[in-house]
Chains A and B, each alone.
Chain A
Amino acid sequence: MTPKATILTSDEVRRALTRIAHEIIERNKGAQQLALIGVHTRGIPLAARLAQKLSELEGVDVPTGMLDITLYRDDLSEVAQQPIIRETQVPFDLRDRRVVLVDDVLYTGRTVRAALDALIDLGRPAGIQLAVLVDRGHRELPIRADYVGKNLPTAANEVVKVKVQETDGVDSVELWDLEALR
């Protein structure tokens, strides 16, 4: 099985993340008081990489965390027979911090809504921004990303697969036909 198209190669993923890191610095006038929180699963390594880039560019260690949104989903009765709960770890105080929520793909917006609810239950950040590697459209909620690696208009019967070195051994973004994956 092969993807319909390769949207981002390894180098392009790297460049997209570098650009996002610059945009984060630009918008926040530096990296002080920032925090990066990755949404399970692939948002976590992407958040870690952005933190590394911010550190290289600004000389600031930006704290990172991981967020599982399972208990906040609005489709828990449909998503799986037994939705799996993963680890949430935010080992710093959110108060007065500007949090950048990081995910791989922005689609309906429901994951981000759940993540916002989960995050606000953990504390009261000064603000929350959203960074995604791919925005594929089809929003069902009024949510938009502040930082986007690649805007990718898609059809509903297409699947965007993001692969990252840390879990998949390679960095790439691919477009697949849903039928081909069934």
Chain B
Amino acid sequence: MNAPVSMGPRPRNLLDFQDWTPERLTAILDNADTMLQVLDRPVKKVPALQGLTVCNAFFENSTRTRTSFELAARRMSADVLTFAAGASSVNKGESLRDTLEVLTSYKVDAYIVRHHASGAAHLVAKYSGKPVINAGDGRRAHPTQALLDAYTVRQEFGSLEGKTVAILGDVRHSRVARSNAELLPKLGAKVVLCGPATLLPAGLAALPGVTLTTDPREAVRGAHAVMALRLQRERMTGGFLGSLQEYADTYQVNERLMQEAESGAVVLHPGPMNRDLEISGEAADGPRSRILKQVENGQAIRMSVLYHLLVGRE
């Protein structure tokens, strides 16, 4: 029953993919198959995390990620303590570290952290001493979203090896794009990042298996999956765009653009969507869309991640 040696030492946290071997990441995707089966049964629950308490510490607004993690933890029989910063003493000026000390006194076994500041999940890992899953920190990383994206593409094509995923839109402000750019090449896929030059940090081209372009037709050509990113207007402090209409005319993922992709290519979006801005309603709801599949897969992936971090001998 021991894990194969090739998987490498088990990382304590999932903050990004730096310490994670392709073998271990593949095992997370493989086990998500089993978790999907669990979700398909009359009893959608297994006792693997019975007795453990998972804290859903959300310092930034979120609906789908928070509920997905909460359900995932409950499906594994963990107790869930949900902490939403909007309704907490954080609003009274309490620091992240003080908040953590309070939560730790409740005997929490693991943290799921979302925070508007890049690196916040690292800080929680450092001070809590418990396993931490990054549920999105600033612009830096959103590893479980990338895993569910990878899983959705693998589900479609059987493998990620040799596949191309085009990611279009506001790359600059997207932790989803960054995590996908880090993860997908580890699993054998190529990533093309595309957006207006103002929203496309040149530094990302240094990542292995990642190319950058400002031309959406070039980005999508030959792609097996096309992901539209939400235009994060709330994070834009400068004049990144001429006009929203101009942006939509050029970078919107729609049926016309999808004609450039592989014939069986699928459409992805991490949500929430700005319909008819970064993605057309037709593409979002059409036969190529796997957007709802991503949501369903998200729960299975998060169950699998919880299993990988919390189950087993220290």
Contact = CB atoms under 8 A, between A and B. Distances in A.
Nearest to B311: A76
B43 A84 contact: no
Interface stretch (A101-109, A117-125, A167-175): A117-125
B123 interface: no
A121 B34 contact: no
A58 B8 CA distance: 50
Interface residues of B, number: 23
Given A117-B47, A121-B43, A123-B42, A88 B311 contact: no
Contact of B1 (A80, A117, A123): A80
A181 interface: no
Contacts of B7: 82
B190 to A, nearest CB: 29
Contacts of A84: 1, 3
A84 B42 CA distance: 24
Contact of B312 (A68, A71, A83, A117): A83
A80 B313 contact: yes
A106 to B, nearest CB: 18
A81 B10 contact: yes
A71 B41 contact: no
Interface residues of A, number: 20
Interface of B is mostly: loop
A85 B3 CA distance: 10
A78 interface: yes
A77 B312 contact: yes
A79 B92 CA distance: 45
A83 B34 CA distance: 14
Contact of B313 (A68, A77, A88, A121): A77
Interface in B281-314: 307-308, 311-313
27 contacts: A71-B38, A71-B47, A71-B307, A72-B46, A77-B311, A77-B312, A77-B313, A79-B312, A79-B313, A80-B1, A80-B3, A80-B312, A82-B3, A82-B7, A82-B10, A82-B308, A82-B311, A83-B1, A83-B311, A84-B3, A85-B30, A87-B34, A121-B46, A122-B41, A122-B42, A122-B43, A123-B42
* Nearest 10 Cβ contacts at the A-B interface: A82-B3, A71-B46, A121-B43, A80-B1, A71-B48, A82-B312, A80-B2, A81-B313, A81-B312, A76-B311
